[in-house]
């Protein structure tokens, strides 16, 4: 993780807002700080831009839906290395937000939605924008809760062609498969670069997809003797990799 979990509440501001000695939380963040968290003058509250800058602050004044903070110190957290990207096949129902929440709290750096061939859920038309908005909002809230200085990137949904290119460029690309010969705990992992972890849907990754990813250089690995849901497998596998790379 970027910073310890325990500590004062963390709020988000736009990049560049941390260059001044005073920061005003307004809008949803201001309402949450003033009306939900009920911050009071002299209390500690931290602020991040979600892109690596973290400021330790003290509350100066509180209005109905805004809070003014004085910046005491600013810390820049370098980008995590190796970067861990999870390609998440679209889960059913609200399990998608659960998957994003868990992976954000664990420490995943990027979550890429994937409409795998056997995925039951489909994003079409306006649903794509709405669903992406939910994933990104979930990542923001989970990053605040877990006190991360970096908010995970959540780009537009990927196609199989996108995944093969991603796998080819990665330091290592790993496809989670329950019947894989190799265990995730036994794979050699790089000390730097990007680790891409590919999580299939409830029905599994199709033979065509497995072949394409293998041809692109991806390796298959199993987590353990039990079969996890697609919404929890990414977080569990990422935890293994975070420990093995020394980020934990």
- The pLDDT value recorded for residue 156 is 94
pTM of the model: 0.89
Averaged pLDDT of the chain: 92
Token pair of 32 as six digits: 């949450």
- Whole domain around residue 62: which residue ranges? 10-76
Condensed to tens digits (0 to 9), the pLDDT of residues 90-130 reads 988 788 999 999 999 999 999 999 999 998 888 888 889 99
Does 215 have pLDDT greater than 80?
yes
- The pLDDT value recorded for residue 6 is 58
Whether residues 70 and 90 fall in one domain:
no
Number of domains in the chain: 2
Does 202 have pLDDT greater than 70?
yes
Whether residues 46 and 165 fall in one domain:
no
Whether residues 52 and 108 fall in one domain:
no
Condensed to tens digits (0 to 9), the pLDDT of residues 40-77 reads 999 999 999 999 999 999 999 999 999 999 999 999 99
- The pLDDT value recorded for residue 4 is 43
Does 247 have pLDDT greater than 80?
yes
Whether residues 122 and 50 fall in one domain:
no
Condensed to tens digits (0 to 9), the pLDDT of residues 122-167 reads 888 888 999 999 999 999 999 999 999 999 999 999 999 999 999 9
Q: What is the mean pLDDT of residues 189-216?
A: 95
Whether residues 127 and 202 fall in one domain:
yes
Does 24 have pLDDT greater than 60?
yes
Q: Looking at residue 16, which CATH number applies to its domain?
A: 2.40.240.20
Whether residues 52 and 93 fall in one domain:
no
């Amino acid at each position: 993780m970027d910073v310890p979990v325990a500590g004062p509440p963390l709020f988000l501001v736009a990049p560049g807002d941390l260059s001044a000695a005073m920061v005003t939380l307004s809008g949803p963040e201001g309402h949450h700080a003033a009306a939900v968290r009920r911050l009071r003058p002299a209390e500690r509250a931290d602020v991040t831009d979600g892109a690596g800058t973290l400021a330790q602050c003290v509350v100066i004044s509180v209005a109905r839906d805004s809070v003014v903070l004085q910046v005491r110190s600013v810390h820049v957290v370098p980008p995590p290395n190796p970067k861990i990207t999870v390609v998440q096949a679209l889960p059913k129902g609200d399990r998608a937000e659960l998957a994003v929440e868990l992976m954000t709290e664990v420490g995943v750096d990027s979550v890429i939605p994937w409409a795998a061939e056997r995925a039951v859920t489909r994003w079409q038309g306006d649903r794509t924008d709405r669903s992406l908005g939910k994933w990104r909002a979930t990542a923001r809230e989970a990053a605040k809760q877990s006190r991360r200085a970096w908010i995970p990137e959540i780009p537009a949904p990927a196609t199989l062609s996108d995944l093969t290119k991603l796998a080819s460029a990665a330091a290592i690309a790993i496809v989670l498969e329950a019947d894989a010969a190799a265990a995730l705990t036994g794979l050699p992992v790089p000390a730097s670069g990007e680790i891409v972890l590919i999580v299939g849907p409830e029905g599994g990754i199709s033979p065509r997809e497995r072949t394409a990813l293998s041809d692109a250089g991806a390796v298959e690995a199993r987590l353990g003797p039990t079969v996890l849901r697609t919404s929890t497998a990414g977080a569990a596998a990422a935890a293994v990799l975070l420990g093995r790379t020394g980020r934990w």
